[in-house]
Amino acid sequence: MKTVLQKLGFGKAARRDEAPESQFFTTGFHDADEPALPSLHWVDRARAIGARKLARPAPARRLKELWARDRYMAGLSPEDLEACAQYFDFYAVDADRDLIRQDEYGSFMLVVLHGTIAVDRQQPWGERLRLTESRAGSVLGEMSLLDSGPRWSYCTSVASCEIAVLEAAGLDAMSQTHPASAARLVGSLARRLSLRLRKLGSPALHGT
């Protein structure tokens, strides 16, 4: 764990080869065997779907309120929530817009502030299967943000909605300026993701 935190920039490294990377999430995992694939950035998706940036105070307050009563984010103190909110951007999105697309490589995650977002998995024959509908407080896309892997599903606005967006560059910046809060955020997201995967996975996966 200490090595991981040092690589994320949450500790002082003793040697040059242990030095924290300031762009760990932005650049992905350099040790991966596969060649790095280009990631789609939120600014490009926002432009494509006509997302409108919101003034910060009200949606930032909404994000902190939602996470303050979210049991998965219970490890974040009020000070952590305040620090985290600084690195999110906030947008309004119209209905029937694909915020996340299956199989693309993305460098951001979303938190639903208002409205409903459908999570669909496209089947090999082309049909989209509705898995769930995410509502206020739901986190979407955190897996690709943390592991630089491909998106597993489509996330599409059912109606007009408001979202908070955390990009890889924002998480990198947080790890430099608020390392303890960033570490707790990453831990909370990983725990949330692990619990969700255990609910979806087979009993054979529960021991991994």
Asked if 54 contacts 162 with a C-beta cutoff of 8 angstroms, the reply is yes
Instruction: Decide: pTM greater than 0.75.
Output: yes
Q: What is the CA radius of gyration of the chain?
A: 17
One-letter-per-residue 3-state SS of the chain: CHHHHHHHCCCCCCCHHHCCCCCHHHHCCCCCCCCCCCCECHHHHHHHHCCEECCCHHHHHHHHHHHHCCHHHCCCCHHHHHHHHCCCEEEEECCCCEEECCCCEECEEEEEEECCEEEEEECCCCCEEEEEEECCCCEECHHHHHHCCECCCEEEECCCEEEEEEEHHHHHHHHHHCHHHHHHHHHHHHHHHHHHHHHHCCHHHCCC
Tokens of 208: 């991994």
Q: What is the mean pLDDT of residues 112-122?
A: 96
Asked if 148 contacts 133 with a C-beta cutoff of 8 angstroms, the reply is no
CA distance 92 to 114: 9
What structural domains and CATH numbers belong to the chain? 37-200 (2.60.120.10)
Judged against a pLDDT cut of 50, whether residue 30 lies above it is answered with no
> pLDDT band at residue 19, thresholds of 50, 70 and 90?
very low
Tokens of 185: 């955020």
Q: What is the pLDDT of residues 169-200, one digit of tens each?
A: 999 999 999 999 999 999 999 888 877 666 66
Angle between helices 78-85 and 179-200 (to 10 degrees): 90
Higher pLDDT, 38 or 207: 38
